[in-house]
Amino acid sequence: MPLSEDEIANFKQRLLEMKYKLSHTLEGNAQEVKKPNEATGYSQHQADQGTDTFDRTISLEVTTKEYELLRQINRALEKIEESSYGICDVSGEEIPLARLMAIPYATMTVKAQSQFEKGLLYGN
């Protein structure tokens, strides 16, 4: 059964809140990654340098995952504007309400998402 206008409005509000929070988190992470390490110098111990490098790598990996999540949120918001929210991008089937409640930025059914993650489908 297609989503009601109220349900879509609620999902849109949730997605916009998620986007706002994530955008602010990404801004903070970007500043942290760009920040020069004031302690860098010849006197710094190699183990400290290794830890700093590891921390920066983890920050970059987290930031990459957050950007991917932001992309998915934006795609879900696009689908709302296109009046296709709740419809799988791949199969055209309805995405179950329970899945959308858990993952409001879902754009594929569980089956299509599984195939995509296994490399059997391309795009999103």
> pLDDT digits over 93-111, tens only?
999 999 999 999 999 999 9
What pLDDT sits at residue 52?
58
Residue 121, SS3?
coil
What pLDDT sits at residue 43?
46
Q: Is the dihedral of CA 41, 28, 71, 86 positive or negative?
A: positive
Give tens-digit pLDDT for 16-61.
999 999 988 877 655 555 555 544 444 466 555 566 565 555 555 5
Q: Which helix (H) or strand (E) holds 55?
A: helix 46-81
All structural domains of the chain, each given as residue ranges with its CATH number in brackets, are: 3-30+50-116 (1.20.120.910)
The count of residues in the chain is 124
Give the whole-angstrom CA distance, residue 66 versus residue 21: 11
Q: Please, which residues bridge with residue 104 across strands?
A: none
Give the whole-angstrom CA distance, residue 109 versus residue 15: 18
Its pTM stands at 0.71
DSSP 18-41: HHHHHHHHHHHHHHHHHS--TT-S
